[in-house]
Amino acid sequence: MQPGGGADLDATWRDLRPSADAIRSWVHDGGSFLGLCFGAYLAGSNPGLDLLPGDTFGWAGSAGASVPDDRDTVVPVTWRGRRRHMYFQDGPGFALDRNARAEVLGQYPDGVPAALVASFGAGRVGVSGPHPEADRSWFEAAGLRNPDGYRLDLARDLITTTCG
């Protein structure tokens, strides 16, 4: 699992790069990788571990995004066909390759994938731009409220879909 918490992708990648081949081999040989927010950026390819059938990009402020900047906020996501709200801290969107084989679990309001699971060799990669693991304390610390209440079912879904 690669959690969020970084602010400088290039610097973090420089630190992680010496371990990249070992991580890629482990996932390829049947392991699982779970990347949340910053960890999801690192699953991408530029820079990153190149575990996804496509790449990541900064969704906030992009054309069509409902979030204009990198402030902490609550973002609506369509998760398996149901509208839900998630804690968001400048997480990525996912630009999938044409004909990519990935299970998109959640989409931002503009249709961009917000969370997905894809195969990588014999392994699985699960990533989410928003934070499905955010509990009540995250929202309260940022002065935010989740209109859906505070549940961890989306985190559970992402984990079980990724790891079985």
66-84 confidence digits (pLDDT tens): 999 999 999 999 999 999 9
Instruction: Assess if residue 14 is contained within a domain.
Output: no
With a cut of 90, say whether residue 112 has pLDDT above it. Answer: yes
Within a 10 A sphere around the Cβ of 69, how many other Cβ atoms?
9
pLDDT of res. 11: 84
Per the domain annotation, does 11 fall within a domain?
Answer: no
Is 49 contained in some domain? Answer: yes
User: pLDDT tens, 26-66?
Assistant: 999 999 999 999 999 999 998 999 999 999 999 999 999 99
Please check whether residue 58 lies inside any domain of the structure: yes
- The beta-strand segments (E) located in the chain are 32-36, 54-58, 73-79, 82-88, 92-96, 102-107, 113-120, 123-128
Residue 59 falls inside a structural domain: yes
**Is 57 inside any structural domain?**
yes
For residue 63, give its domain range. 29-102+120-163
Q: 4 falls in which pLDDT band (50, 70, 90)?
A: low
Number of domains present in the structure of the chain: 1
pLDDT at 81: 98
Residues 6+ apart with CB under 8 A from 139: 74, 87, 145, 146, 150
Other Cβ atoms closer than 10 A to 5: 11
Q: How far apart are CA 35 and CA 12, in angstroms?
A: 14
Where residue 164 falls among pLDDT bands split at 50, 70, 90? Answer: confident
- Residue 46: how many other CB atoms lie within 10 Å: 11
Average pLDDT, the chain: 95
